Amino acid sequence: MFRPGISLVLMMVTALAGCESPMHPDVPKGPSAYQAISPAADDTTGRNYFLRGGDIVSISVFQEPDLSRDRLVIDNAGNLDLPLIGQVHAGGMTPSELSDALTHAYGNKYLRKPDVAVYIDQSLAGTFAVEGQVALPGQYAYRPGDTLLSAIAQARSPTKVAKLDQVLIFRTVNGERLGGQFDLRAIREGRADDPEIKPGDVIVVGFSGVRGVYRDFLEAAPIIGVFRRF
């Protein structure tokens, strides 16, 4: 989660908005932006997310609707109760590992060549924030596999004055603040990769206006001492 004081800085984004000026020159962008936010001690997204008590998953057994289940809650001990095979320990497994375990369990006694898929509907891993020029800024529940596009979609998309090539992602890794600038239009058009979002990330969508001065909140960061290394 991000530190207290960030909310104050984020509120300054809109307050300082006016006519357009360049993004903070020290924020990496292009390929460097992806590299800047890539280090992570704990990978809690996509294939490497480890299931835990409180997560909600769906189990799909191909052509076996009676065995498939939607929105099952993993209990505090990390277990799931499933048809025929009973209690299965899912805690500490990745979705892929759980899928393999269920495929083996059903294939061992009950089905011929079962095809089992595991989907994460909701995770208790944390939240991320979307601020700046979006219709509904705020904090959102993190779901494994969330990307910049899906995060901004949860915030009801950018406003008409949002500057789509000035979208910032800030992340804390091992106590160090990392950040990069991304081009949302290029991502939407498939000309750039859609970066994964992690718990605690702060996303700020840039501002473009006819009058006034654009100021990203990095310019206020040295006063508060929250964001460094760019």
Kindly give the confidence (pLDDT) of every residue in the chain, 230 residues in length, as a single tens digit, with 9 standing for 90 and above: 444 444 433 444 444 444 444 444 456 677 766 776 665 444 444 456 788 888 899 999 999 999 999 999 998 788 999 999 999 999 889 999 999 999 999 999 899 999 999 999 887 667 888 999 999 999 898 887 899 999 999 999 999 989 898 898 888 776 677 788 899 999 999 999 999 998 888 899 986 543 333 344 444 333 222 333 43
Where does 6-45+125-224 sit in CATH, by number?
3.10.560.10
The angle subtended at Cα 144 by Cα 98 and Cα 111, nearest 5°, is: 25
CATH 3.30.1950.10 fits 50-122, yes or no: yes
Give the chain's largest Cα–Cα span: 70
3-state secondary structure of 196: strand
pLDDT of residue 123: 76
Burial of 64 (0-12, 13-18, 19+ CB in 10 A): middle
Q: How far apart are CA 112 and CA 95, in angstroms?
A: 22
Domain with CATH 3.10.560.10 in the chain: 6-45+125-224
- Asked if residue 168 lies in contact with residue 204, where contact means CB atoms within 8 angstroms, the answer is yes
Q: How far apart are CA 168 and CA 61, in angstroms?
A: 40
- pTM: predicted TM-score of the whole model, two decimal places: 0.50
* Residue among 123, 165, 162, 160 at smallest CA distance from 145: 123
Contacts for 155 with CB less than 8 Å, ≥ 6 apart? 130, 134, 135, 136, 137, 138, 140
pLDDT of residue 117: 96
pLDDT of residue 39: 53
Domain with CATH 3.30.1950.10 in the chain: 50-122
